[in-house]
Amino acid sequence: MKKITTFGEIMLRISPQEKGERLNQSVNFRIEPGGSEANVAVALSNLGLSTEFVTKLPDNPLSEKTIQFLQQFNVDTSNIIKLGTRLGIYWTENGIGPRNSFVIYDRNNSSFSEINSQDFNWREIFRSSSWFHFSGISPSISKNVYDELINALSEITVPYSVDLNFRSKLWEWADKEPSRINNIMTKLCKNAILIGGNESDFQNIFQINLNKKLNTSLFEEIAEECFVMFPKLKYLSISNRKAISASSNIWSGHLFVKESKISNYIGIRYNLESIEDRVGTGDSFIAGIIFGLINKEQYTYQETVDFACTLAALNHSTIGDVSRFSEKEVLSVLKNKGTGRIIR
């Protein structure tokens, strides 16, 4: 079976162990691996697909912990190379009520940021792949990573997807300059079959100026612009979050499909109360979209976006980046329309 290959940086996430504690008051911390593209690989593996995660880590015990974490979810780690000196870290404080969540990155000079063209044989990697996925976080880390993605895409022989994931705290190598970021991401998305993100990702990265056309939603305008910008694009996914507070959100999403015309499939809506952890939920959403598109014989486009919305909604209920839900569990929640009934 060919694999879904994802590429990006996985780090150690450090967050207060007790819910509600702030970083500057906590003395006990939860430490576990996390990173957007690794989260997608884990989510898809838990849904029953064959996955592989490609990255560069230092050769030390922390990397071993990270690799073992991925392997427990049956993610193939055979193309992870060990070179360089440090593993990236990010600190997370989860918000509650009116208090925002926030992240502190400590990833400068990580092994991944110092990737070079000798590290991976992309032709060989794609030979055993059926789909390739990365996010906008990867090229934001360093020019080395951007150059390596350009190198990978020059060898690509399979469909690929990009989750925009704009991070304002990154992109230092591009001076955080909007036009440079736009140019970089436009090149990387040029031949993508699927592009995902939330509405602000599309506006921040592609500088889309919305005209607020009559009877046209913000999401539909973004889709129209992107399908013109990227003629080879077939699918566009946009998550839709309305935050009442850090603990309470209204969650849904859209899947736009370009065939003879552009169709907009709107996902099931969830009222999420008492959110445990928001980090990684967007990764679950695009993982659900990829899962449905790969299984087009079993899932209609409407079922695909409903599945993706549900997988992401479930990920709000657990601590940590990665989704730990099976296809059967997601379908069970969909069947009960998210009522949370006891399964006996």
Q: What is the DSSP string of 184-229?
A: HHHHHHTT-SEEEEEHHHHHHHH-------TT--HHHHHHHHHHHH
Residue 218 included in any domain: yes
Q: pLDDT confidence of 274, banded at 50, 70, 90?
A: confident
* Cβ pair 8, 137 in contact under 8 A: yes
Transcribe 129-190 into DSSP letters.
EEEEEEETHHHHH-HHHHHHHHHHHHH--S-EEEE----TT--GGGTT-HHHHHHHHHHHHT
- Report the C-alpha gap between 269 and 121 in whole angstroms: 42
Residue 343 included in any domain: no
Residue 283's pLDDT is 97
- Report the C-alpha gap between 253 and 306 in whole angstroms: 8
Pairing status of strand 102-106 against strand 89-93: antiparallel
Residue 41's SS3 state is: helix
Q: How many domains does the chain have?
A: 1
Residue 91's SS3 state is: strand
Q: Picking from 29-38, 94-103, 140-149, 242-251, which range would have the lowest pLDDT averaged per residue?
A: 94-103
Residue 79 included in any domain: yes
pLDDT tens profile 163-221: 999 999 999 999 999 999 999 999 999 999 999 999 999 999 998 877 666 556 889 99
* Cβ pair 307, 291 in contact under 8 A: yes
Token duo for residue 218: 């913000």
Residue 340 included in any domain: no
Residue 341's pLDDT is 58
Residue 216's pLDDT is 61
pLDDT at 303 over 90: yes
Q: Picking from 104-108, 110-114, 117-121, 212-216, which range would have the lowest pLDDT averaged per residue?
A: 212-216
Residue 34 included in any domain: yes
- Report the C-alpha gap between 55 and 6 in whole angstroms: 9
- Report the C-alpha gap between 235 and 65 in whole angstroms: 36
In which element (H, E) is residue 328 found?
helix 327-335
pLDDT at 238 over 60: yes
Residue 342 included in any domain: no
Residue 344's pLDDT is 44
Residue 101's pLDDT is 86
- Report the C-alpha gap between 253 and 181 in whole angstroms: 25
pLDDT tens profile 51-89: 999 999 999 999 999 999 999 999 999 999 999 999 999
The vertex-75 CA angle with 267 and 42, nearest 5°, equals: 25
Q: Which domain holds residue 158?
A: 3-335
Residue 45's pLDDT is 98
The vertex-320 CA angle with 314 and 324, nearest 5°, equals: 45
* Cβ pair 160, 32 in contact under 8 A: no
Pairing status of strand 56-57 against strand 81-82: parallel
Q: Picking from 133-137, 212-216, 274-278, which range would have the lowest pLDDT averaged per residue?
A: 212-216
To the question of pTM greater than 0.75 for the whole model, the response is yes
Q: How many CA atoms lie within 13 A of 140 on its CB side?
A: 23
CATH number for the domain harbouring residue 239: 3.40.1190.20
Place of tokens 């073992």: 68
How many CB atoms are located within 10 Å of the residue 341 CB? 11
Residue 95's pLDDT is 85
What percent of the chain clears pLDDT 90, i.e. is strictly above it? 87
pLDDT at 343 over 60: no
Pairing status of strand 89-93 against strand 249-258: unpaired
The vertex-260 CA angle with 156 and 263, nearest 5°, equals: 90
pLDDT at 236 over 60: yes
Backbone angles phi, psi at 40, to 5 degrees: -65, -45
What's the mean per-residue pLDDT of the chain? 94
- Report the C-alpha gap between 200 and 52 in whole angstroms: 29
Q: How many CA atoms lie within 13 A of 81 on its CB side?
A: 14
